[in-house]
Amino acid sequence: MPSDKKENVIIIGAGLAGLALANVLKHQGVSYKIFERDASPEDRTQGWSLSMHFCLLTLKTLMDPAKYATLGDKSAVDPENPRKGDFCLANGNTGEPLVTVGSDTYDSNVDVFRVNRKRFRSWLMEGIDVTWNKRIDHYTINDDGNGVQVTFTDGTVEEGSVIVGADGVNSQVCRQLIGEDEFKTTTVPNPLRILAASYWIDSELRQEIKENYSSAHMMAPSSISEEADHSTCLFVSLVDVDKSKEKPYEMLWSVSCLDKEEPHHETNQERLNQAKNWLKKSGCSGLLNRLVTGTPDDTEVVTLKIRERSPHSILDTFHGPVVLIGDALHSMTQFRGEGGNHAILDACLLGKELASLHKQEKGLKEAINTYYSEALPRGRKAVAESHEALNIVHGTRAQVFAMINGIAKSVEKMIEKMSQEDSSSAVETSKQ
């Protein structure tokens, strides 16, 4: 590992993308430093869960295998059943379950986990030395084009060979790279309104939800009539399990609709009433609706905002020492559950290229070009498809039902592809 500070890869942001990159670089013997604007890991609530699937095969091959082996036990929403990540699509109007994609569908070699976001991030952080309380102000590329200087808002400066912007949707690195005006024009707020909350439920309600829908997460769109232009979408997920509690299961719900006329409320109680009202207006009924109506009055109800940004065209030609990964590169809606998977896949693929650079097998331009030639088209497709998924889930009843039929098929295809890739990589490994 080079001892010269100027050889460090500088990672801005200790979210999923930045931490995954740090894990890959550490295992590949490339020196790095990772900086995060938050004062500590506890600074912000990370209170939801995520589906991790197509990024895991690549992550598994590039990071410490002993640490990877602990992923499920340490991060899964239900650590006692780490591989239980079933997803159910239900008819929100009748409460009837329509399609369930269960963990039993997956090949036992395929890693698919529903993870608790906070514990997943903590797992990624294990053995990674994050420098907290460091907000990037700007970077300067050295005159000869090799290396960068990064200035933080506290006035300190770090030098490195490459700066990686893993600083999320509001990325300061992206802002500087593409320019403030372009950043504002290409970062598009989605009009969807989302209210979300989580609270702990008892074993009886948990069992009812599990038996009728799924053990992990579920979605139930409802609309007032066949003719209505829009549906309201209710999403429910297990977030955590703590058997020492009287109510051992933390469940999250989010309710979303495309009604631009709906007011923005100040208090939790008003937002809770608003979410209940959106469901009532759309004719939502059944057990999942009851989960929302049964929310304790003192529960915090948050508003989630979505901003979308496709990878900028500047990146097709700029292959200098400033690179973007994750939401900083491509911000998408959560309605395909892919943003985090793309973020981690970016980190893995860039990490592999930076390892080649470090071993002097490739020059900087070639390494960055190789990374972007895969990441840019993949990111653009994902942003467009995730936008489309949001519109379909909140579309007419006919659109929603067409999607439900399509989703089961596409998930089956994805699982089939993942198990083929996994068995072919196992063959390659056994040949070595």
Ligand X SMILES: Cc1cc2nc3c(=O)[nH]c(=O)nc-3n(C[C@H](O)[C@H](O)[C@H](O)COP(=O)(O)OP(=O)(O)OC[C@H]3O[C@@H](n4cnc5c(N)ncnc54)[C@H](O)[C@@H]3O)c2cc1C
Chain positions contacting ligand X, by CB under 6 A: 12-18, 35-38, 48, 50-51, 135-136, 166-168, 170, 172, 304, 326-328, 334, 337-341, 343
Q: How far is the CB of 17 from ligand X (least distance, A)?
A: 3
CA dist 304 and 275 (Å) reads 13
DSSP 365-411: HHHHHHHHHHHHHHHHHHHHHHHHHHHHHTS-HHHHHHHHHHHHHHH
Helix (H, G, I), strand (E, B) or coil at 416: helix
Length of the chain: 432
Shortest Å, Cβ 228 to ligand X: 25
Query: CB-wise, 222 or 333, nearer to ligand X?
Result: 333
Report the residue number, 38 or 208, with the smaller CB distance to ligand X: 38
Least CB distance to ligand X at residue 264 (A): 18
Q: Closest distance between ligand X and the C-beta of residue 204, in Å? A: 27
What is the SS3 assignment for 141?
strand
CB-wise, 72 or 339, nearer to ligand X?
339
Task: Classify 284 as helix, strand or coil.
Answer: coil
Residue closer to ligand X, measured from CB, 15 or 147: 15
Amino acid at 262: E
Measured in whole angstroms, how far is the alpha carbon of residue 328 from the centre of its chain?
Answer: 12
Q: Residue 137 in contact with residue 41, Cβ under 8 Å?
A: no
Rounded distance, CA 294 to CA 290, Å? 6
Q: Decide whether 362 or 378 has the Cβ nearer to ligand X.
A: 378
Instruction: Please identify, using beta-carbon distances, which residue of 2 and 179 lies nearer to ligand X.
Output: 179
The residue (of 14 and 275) whose beta carbon lies closer to ligand X is 14
The angle formed by the CA atoms of residues 317, 30 and 166, to the nearest 5 degrees, is 50
- Closest approach, Cβ 112 to ligand X, in A, equals 11
Least Cβ distance, residue 122 to ligand X (angstroms): 13
Q: Is 185 helix (H, G, I), strand (E, B) or coil?
A: helix
Residue with the closest Cβ to ligand X? 15
Burial of 141 (0-12, 13-18, 19+ CB in 10 A): middle
Between CA 126 and CA 133, with CA 127 as vertex, the angle to 5 degrees is 80
Which SS3 state, helix, strand or coil, does residue 9 take?
strand
Q: Is the Cβ of residue 35 or residue 199 nearer to ligand X in the bound state?
A: 35
**CA distance linking residue 351 with residue 258, whole number of Å:** 39
